């Protein structure tokens, strides 16, 4: 099956040997996004709420470049340096998603690139919402 690279300058550029997203058939696999501002490639803030919002914005920009939106996300993986922020992520998630919510996993990790407190990756099917 052919693979298509999805890329946008409205989300941070890859900081390693990977693509922002890859489409295979009707499914788009979005690489992990940390809270980098696409314009500066720097963390938006040390504040966890601003970091979570930036990650959702980055995921949304890539979803749009793939011809969809966050409503088309069917699976979301969340990585948190501090699981005490789990409730905040749930709260912020409700401003970006509505029912039916995507399937999801949330994991505690020791560290993330560039000192980020949160990272998320996603699987989406554009047009499935």
Q: Is residue 129 part of a domain?
A: no
Which pLDDT band, with edges at 50, 70 and 90, does 1 fall under? confident
With a cut of 90, say whether residue 129 has pLDDT above it: no
Q: How far apart are CA 28 and CA 106, in angstroms?
A: 20
pLDDT in tens, 10-21: 999 998 999 999
With a cut of 90, say whether residue 95 has pLDDT above it: yes
- DSSP single-letter state for residue 53: H
CA atoms within 13 A on the CB side of 6: 27
Q: Is residue 7 part of a domain?
A: yes
Work out whether the CA dihedral 58, 59, 64, 70 comes out positive or negative.
Answer: negative
pLDDT in tens, 62-93: 999 999 999 999 999 999 999 999 999 999 99
pLDDT at 91: 97
Give the chain's domain count: 1
Q: How far apart are CA 3 and CA 25, in angstroms?
A: 8
pLDDT in tens, 30-72: 999 999 999 999 999 999 999 999 999 999 999 999 999 999 9
Residue pair 59/30 in contact (Cβ under 8 Å)? The answer is: yes
pTM: 0.97
Residue-range definition of the domain harbouring residue 54: 3-124
């Amino acid at each position: 099956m052919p693979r298509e690279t999805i890329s946008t300058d409205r989300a941070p550029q890859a900081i390693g040997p990977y693509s922002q997203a890859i489409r295979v058939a009707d499914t788009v696999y979005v690489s992990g996004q940390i809270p980098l501002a696409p314009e500066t490639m720097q963390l938006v803030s040390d504040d966890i709420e601003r970091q979570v919002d930036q990650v959702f914005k980055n995921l949304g920009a890539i979803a749009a470049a793939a011809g969809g939106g966050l409503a088309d996300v069917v699976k979301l993986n969340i990585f948190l340096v501090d699981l005490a922020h789990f409730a905040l992520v749930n709260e912020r998630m409700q401003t970006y998603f509505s029912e039916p919510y995507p399937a999801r996993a949330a994991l505690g990790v020791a560290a993330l690139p560039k000192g980020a407190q949160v990272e998320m990756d996603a699987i989406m099917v554009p047009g499935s919402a």
